[in-house]
């Protein structure tokens, strides 16, 4: 045990070091463009420490912050369990938490984050409806689970309780979100896949996989069981003990009959499983699909008739922030929603909270491919310049409204969380 612990500390530390080093390398004398303020000189000395999952903790963002805003942003990338842990237990170790909404529900009560005054957020009105009223379009039906707007607002500064209206005090400023589904290897399956139920189809015995992060895995499992018609759920995002037991029982049976090749916990594990052909159908995340494809291996992020399991992340402010640091943090958030980051993230396949500002930082073809679901006219490149798709390619699942409009369930924490985790452990140990 001790050995393992040491290792993780070293890992974390080296990541910290790496992040600090990169932040240090980030030159740019701080040309303050677009944000001239009186304290422009002092703000250069400010350092904000941000941590979060790898998806949005990008060193390019830190470099750009130094360039545009003048202050230093230190990034630390961790896995989602460690992110939760840090947000809940180490309030002094960060200024900005880049966390998912379900993590917010879990850790908000710990009091380490402060609500944000939406009147200070320039683009607040342009944030997509999903994060404010919960409705993407006025006709949208709100999906099950921890929908972002349900944990997006509190009653006031210092508020501990979530409210169901736009109170003007936001817990997290949404940054990125996406709709997840199953990834498949069309070349090895050779027939159309259109339902979550296919994950447990005996045809793929020994070639299926599911992610071993209980809070997300259970949702994928529920999507599967519901699609199979085996279990009916009141709310997949907040299951009863009975629903959890039934779901896990079905998955234990499948596991014991050898349905699964492996379970994965980290992004690269899922990429390797798929790329090596060990697995042909599994729960997957969007950039993992891109990573498999960029190796020249066909891989499809298969839209399914039951809909997507969605997730969203946002920036939260540490309750320790005040004075100039707090101002800098607001400045940073405004900058974040101003489009550059949004464009950057959308070119990786995520969605930005304020798509219309991101549009200014994307070419027409990129916007058409990523957002509107149109066929690419030229090569589609990643922000780093790697070619992701050739001309003519269409995004799996289509346009933003097709994908985000078909969300069946949001990542969530359940009231029966403890029971769920125990049952999940039974599944893993079975």
Partner 1 sequence: MTEMKTSISGAKLAPGSNLKKLSAKASAQQRTSWYLVSPLVMVLGFFLVLPILTIVIVSFWDYNDYNFFPAFVFENYAYLLTSPVTLATYLKTFKFMILVWIFCTTIGFTIAYFLAFHVRTLPMQITLFLICTVPFWTSNIIRMISWIPFLGRNGLANSALINTGVIDQPLDWLLFSDFAVVLAFVHLYCLFMVVPVFNTMMRIDKSLIEAARDAGASNFQILTNVIIPLTKPGIMIGSIFVVTLVMGDFITVRFMSGGQSASVGRVISNEIALLQYPAAAASAVVLLITVLIMIGIMMRFVDIRKEL
| Among the listed residues 230, 235, 278, 306, the single contact to partner 1 using CB under 8 A | 278
Q: In whole angstroms, what is the distance from residue 297 CA to residue 292 CA?
A: 6
**Of 54-62, 145-153, 230-238, 419-427, which segment contacts partner 1 by CB under 8 A?**
419-427
Of 1 and 29, the one with the shorter C-beta distance to partner 1 is: 1
What is the C-alpha separation between 345 and 366, in angstroms, rounded? 12
Contact (Cβ atoms closer than 8 angstroms) between residue 391 and residue 195: no
- Total residue count of the chain as it appears in this document: 430
Q: Does 4 interact with partner 1 (rule: CB under 8 A)?
A: yes
- Give the residue with the Cβ less far from partner 1, 232 or 418: 418
Told to check if 276 binds partner 1 by CB under 8 A, we report yes
Q: Which is nearer to partner 1, 227 or 288 (CB)?
A: 288
Count of Cβ atoms closer than 10 Å to residue 268 Cβ = 12
Residue 108 CB, nearest approach to partner 1 (Å): 8
Q: According to DSSP H, which parts of 128-197 are helical? A: 186-189
94, 162, 263, 335: which one binds partner 1 (CB under 8 A): 263
How many Å apart are CA 410 and CA 408, to the nearest integer?
7
Please, what is the Cα angle at 416 between 413 and 422, to 5 degrees? 100
**6 lines the binding site for partner 1 (CB under 8 A):** no
Is residue 92 a contact residue for partner 1 (CB under 8 A)?
no
Of the candidate residues 88, 142, 249, 326, the single one contacting partner 1 (CB under 8 A): 88
Q: How many angstroms separate the most distant Cα atoms in the chain?
A: 67
The first and second tokens of residue 41, run together, are: 């000189």
Is position 28 an interface residue for partner 1 (rule: CB under 8 A)? Answer: no
Question: For residues 110 and 160, is the Cβ–Cβ distance under 8 A?
Answer: no
Stretch that binds partner 1, among 33-41, 172-180, 268-276, 367-375 (CB under 8 A): 268-276
Least separation, in Å, of the C-beta of 430 and partner 1? 7
Work out the burial of residue 141: count CB atoms within 10 Å of its CB; fewer than 13 is exposed, 13-18 middle, 19 or more buried. Answer: exposed
CB of 142 to partner 1, least distance (A): 23
Looking only at residues 64 through 83 of this chain, which bind partner 1 when binding is defined by CB under 8 A?
81-82
For partner 1, the closer of residues 117 and 212 by Cβ is: 212
Residue from 89, 165, 322, 360 touching partner 1 (CB under 8 A): that is 89
User: What SS3 string covers 395-421?
Assistant: CCCCCHHHHHCCEEEECCCCCCHHHHH
CA dist 285 and 270 (Å) reads 9
Q: Which stretch binds partner 1 (CB under 8 A): 58-66, 131-139, 207-215, 386-394?
A: 207-215
Q: Is 421 in the site for partner 1 (CB under 8 A)?
A: yes
| Distance linking the first and last C-alpha atoms of the chain | 22
The residues, any chain, with a CB within 8 Å of residue 125's CB and separated by 6 or more, are none
The stretch near partner 1 (CB under 8 A) out of 102-110, 146-154, 238-246, 304-312 is 102-110
- Which of 6, 7, 364, 383 is the binder for partner 1 (CB under 8 A)? 7
Do residues 115 and 315 touch, judged by C-beta distance below 8 A? no
> Given the rule CB under 8 A, which residues bind partner 1?
1-4, 7, 81-82, 84-85, 88-89, 106-107, 109-110, 206, 209, 212, 214, 255, 260-265, 272-273, 276-278, 413, 417-418, 421-422, 425-426, 428-430
């Amino acid at each position: 045990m001790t050995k393992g612990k040491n290792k993780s500390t070293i890992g974390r530390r080296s990541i910290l070091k790496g992040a600090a080093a990169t932040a240090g390398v980030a030159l740019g004398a701080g040309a303050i463009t677009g944000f001239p303020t009186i304290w422009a000189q002092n703000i250069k000395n400010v350092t904000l420490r941000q941590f979060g999952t790898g998806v949005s903790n990008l060193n390019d963002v830190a470099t750009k912050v130094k360039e545009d805003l003048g202050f230093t942003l230190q990034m630390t990338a961790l896995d989602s369990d460690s992110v939760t842990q840090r947000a809940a237990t180490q309030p002094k170790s960060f200024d900005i938490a880049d966390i998912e909404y379900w993590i917010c529900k879990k850790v908000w009560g710990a009091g380490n984050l402060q609500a944000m005054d939406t009147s200070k957020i320039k683009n607040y009105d342009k944030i997509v409806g999903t994060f404010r009223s919960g409705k993407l379009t006025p006709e949208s039906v709100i999906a099950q689970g921890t929908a972002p707007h349900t944990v997006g607002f509190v009653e006031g500064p210092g508020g501990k309780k979530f409210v169901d209206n736009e109170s003007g005090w936001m817990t997290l400023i949404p940054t990125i979100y996406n709709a997840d589904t199953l990834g498949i290897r069309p070349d090895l399956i050779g027939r159309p896949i259109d339902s979550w139920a296919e994950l447990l189809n005996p045809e793929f015995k020994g070639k299926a996989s599911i992610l071993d992060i209980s809070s997300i895995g259970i949702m994928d499992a529920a999507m599967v069981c519901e699609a199979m018609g085996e279990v009916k759920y009141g709310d997949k995002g907040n299951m009863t003990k009975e629903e959890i037991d039934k779901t896990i029982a079905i998955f234990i049976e499948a596991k014991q009959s050898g349905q699964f090749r492996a379970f994965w916990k980290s992004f690269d594990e899922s990429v390797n499983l798929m790329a090596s052909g060990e697995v042909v159908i599994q729960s997957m995340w969007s950039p993992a699909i891109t990573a498999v494809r960029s190796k020249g291996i066909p891989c499809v992020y298969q839209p399914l008739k039951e809909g997507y399991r969605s997730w969203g992340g946002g920036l939260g402010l540490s309750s320790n922030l005040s004075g100039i640091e707090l101002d800098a943090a607001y400045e940073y958030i405004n900058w974040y929603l101003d489009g550059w980051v949004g464009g950057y993230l959308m070119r990786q396949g995520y969605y930005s909270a304020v798509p219309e500002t991101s549009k200014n930082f994307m070419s027409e073809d990129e916007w058409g491919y990523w957002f509107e679901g149109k066929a690419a006219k030229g090569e589609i490149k990643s922000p780093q310049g790697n070619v992701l798709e050739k001309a003519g390619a269409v995004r799996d699942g289509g346009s933003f409204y097709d994908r985000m409009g078909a969300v069946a369930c949001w990542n969530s924490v359940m009231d029966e969380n403890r029971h769920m985790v125990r049952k999940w452990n039974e599944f893993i140990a079975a």
